[in-house]
Chain A
Amino acid sequence: MKTFRIGGVHPAENKLSAGKAIRVAELPKQAVFPLSQHIGAPAVPVVKKGDAVKVGTKIAEAGGFVSAAVFSSVSGKVNKIDNVVDASGYRKPAIFIDVEGDEWEDSIDRTPSLVRECRFSPEEIVAKIKDAGVVGMGGACFPTHVKLTPPPGCKAECVIINGVECEPYLTADHRLMLEKTEEILVGVSILMKAVKVDKAYIGIENNKPDAIRLMAEKASAYPGIEVVPLKVKYPQGGEKQLIDAIIRRQVPAPPAIPINVGAVVQNVGTAFAVYEAVQKNKPLFERVVTVTGKSLAEPSNFLARMGTPMSQLIDAAGGLPEDTGKVVGGGPMMGKALATVDVPVCKGSSGILVINEKEAKRTAPQPCIRCAKCVSVCPMGLEPYLLATCSAHGDWERVEHEMIMSCIECGSCQFTCPSHRPMLDYIRLGKGKVGGIIRARNAKK
């Protein structure tokens, strides 16, 4: 069975909510929409205090080419535009909307019927995706229309759909594949049309046999779409790892991107969002969020409107247990501990993980014993111990030379370290610094 070739680990899967059907979450009383829910320039508000909005009204437009519009997920009145603590732990500008009723924009097709036929040209598809504010739903939130616009000199050869969901605990994509199978497949064909290719692969890890079976069965009706079962290994959901696993090509070091080897990688959640945007005129304002944790009464998958406070979803899943040590936004490997549970659900919120005090406690780091386990598990072929040490000493030239910018921050090194060294903490610091240095250098040129 296929998998990527370098490194990788296999953490305990803990897919507690895999058997739970997607539930529609209740509407919040107030929805909060941060203007930076994606990679790139923040969105620019187009509403002001007191404006009435409907479900699907554009409330902020893209602030540049690499940026995405933000749409209201609720109907009601704009309360204010103010700062809110987002998942990063910092205060960022956001639009606050007080919810009144649930009135949708007339342009949105709310019928459940499946629209197979796509009558738009590739350019129209990309424009529609851009107008719907669709971003990568896997967590990185890169604007989808940018990925579908290959830079000059590059040509897409195939679309790769990421149904891997290699993060432990998370089941949002798994449930989506089971419940919205046909919609995802139509979304994939639209993506294929948009980048003018006739081949698409859907990679799914074989710990989801039901999803593989169902997708493969339905995919036979769609020409050019092939479901590829993959061996379970973290971080297979990283796009470079997925490309390696499925088409055996390696993306060169940054600034190279997957399109340089002819691949366009999209998440299954994105494919579903593309289907809704193109076929149903529905902008991106809701998503599936897994709320899970061993101590949680009822781990669940919710279809939540953006802007819903995470605390509300946790309450709907049985409430925050008393012995909670950490609440993580995202999965346990790449997710980020939240400073407060009042953070709104954003485009990239794939999961909320509640960890008890005992499991949340970090083990005190010990000296490095030079076992090189971190080197052998690094899926990018880097030397994490070296990057961490040099970052700790502020040797930015050296870490840049050691390809710190290739690090995908998957955390495999730290996960596997027998001395519990906080390598990724330092590497993230170094990556941030070196990224700034490179940007400054490019700006000078």
Chain B
Amino acid sequence: MNLILVAVISLGAIGLVSAVILYFASKKFAVYEDPRIGKVAEVLPQANCGGCGYPGCSGFASACVKAGSLEGKLCPVGGQATMEKVAAILGLAAGAAEPKVAVVRCNGTCANRPKLTVYDSVRSCAVANSTYGGETGCTFGCLGCGDCVSACQFGAIRMNPETGLPEVDEAKCTACGACVKACPRNIIELRPKGKNSRRVYVQCVNKDKGAVARKVCTAACIGCGKCVKVCPFEAITLENNLAYIDPAKCKLCRKCETECPQGAIVAANFPPRKAKAEETSN
């Protein structure tokens, strides 16, 4: 009986002392965390993709709270809707953000760019890129091993077995930029989605001279500069034998698309050019 009593008292005393120590410690060493950080984190998609440029969703949440302004901050996954929720919690105005989408700037399909060698090492673009120029002779274009596909957390990229190139599903793409980082050849670019999802861009990254580029790929930009001359808005620049269309200046007139002798400029999501074809035939 005595034994039990001693045990209970001593353990109870230890418990009491520890509780007091813990109580004062929690008061003394308390770290203040803005309760809004937790609230903001709750409305974020919790994909932790890093597409916003911060380490994960909680990192982005604390950055939003601390910054005092949402200018230039965007959760690419949640988009404008999420940013408005964040703005409501913080009582701030959501910055106007232009939705973006990943575009693959290579049209070196199996037909356009025949294979000259066989790559039999690891199916990884990073390894292939460090090994040699690639199966086709184009040392700039898509390697086709699908590093972008495995980098995408949203299932928005898939390899098209017919073309051997990755294709972006615009509906699923959140423009987090994971594929851009994964591509060892910088082929994928985040471009503004554009009005009605319409975009005009150069679908090639080959910086070789025209003759060399054309030899390896029938759809390569040869740096002829015709598009630069035809563009009424000075949106196109030519550097290192490669044309680039500035999305901020491009007015989607599509003059360059028709001018390009290589078909290297694409206009995405435009209705088919039926009327114009008839006009020219008449």
Residues of A within 8 A of B (CB): 83, 85, 88-91, 336-337, 339-340, 361-362, 392, 422, 425-426, 428-429, 432
Contacts and interface: CB of A to CB of B under 8 A. Distances in A.
Given A88-B132, A429-B127, A361 B120 contact: yes
Contacts of A339: 116-117, 132-133, 137
B130 interface: yes
Q: Is the interface of B mostly helix, strand, loop or mixed?
A: loop
Contact of A429 (B120, B126, B133): B126
B117 A426 contact: no
Contacts of B240: none
A160 B212 CA distance: 45
Contacts of A392: 122, 124
Nearest to A423: B122
Contacts of A428: 127, 130-131
A112 B131 CA distance: 42
Contact of B132 (A90, A422, A429): A90
A88 B209 CA distance: 19
Interface of B: 116-117, 120-122, 124, 126-127, 130-134, 137, 139, 208-209, 212
Given A83-B212, A85-B133, A339-B117, 10 more contacts: A88-B133, A90-B132, A90-B133, A91-B208, A336-B131, A339-B132, A361-B120, A362-B120, A426-B127, A429-B124
A422 B122 contact: yes
Contacts of A362: 120-121
Contact of B208 (A83, A340, A432): A83
A89 B212 CA distance: 15
Given A339-B117, A362-B120, A432 B130 contact: yes
Contacts of B132: 88-90, 336-337, 339
A421 to B, nearest CB: 10
B46 to A, nearest CB: 22
A340 B116 contact: yes
Nearest to B135: A339
Contacts of A85: 133, 137
B133 A89 contact: yes
Nearest to B139: A90
A409 to B, nearest CB: 12
28 contacts: A83-B209, A85-B137, A88-B132, A88-B133, A89-B132, A89-B139, A90-B132, A90-B133, A91-B133, A91-B208, A91-B212, A336-B131, A336-B132, A339-B133, A361-B120, A362-B120, A362-B121, A392-B122, A392-B124, A422-B122, A425-B121, A425-B122, A425-B131, A426-B122, A428-B127, A429-B126, A429-B127, A429-B130
A432 B131 CA distance: 11
Contacts of B116: 339-340
B121 to A, nearest CB: 5
B183 to A, nearest CB: 14
A28 to B, nearest CB: 21
A361 B137 CA distance: 21
Contacts of B122: 392, 422, 425-426
B131 A89 contact: yes
A392 B124 CA distance: 9
B50 to A, nearest CB: 13
Contact of B121 (A88, A89, A422): A422
A88 B139 CA distance: 11
A428 B122 CA distance: 12
Contacts of B134: 89
Nearest to B132: A89
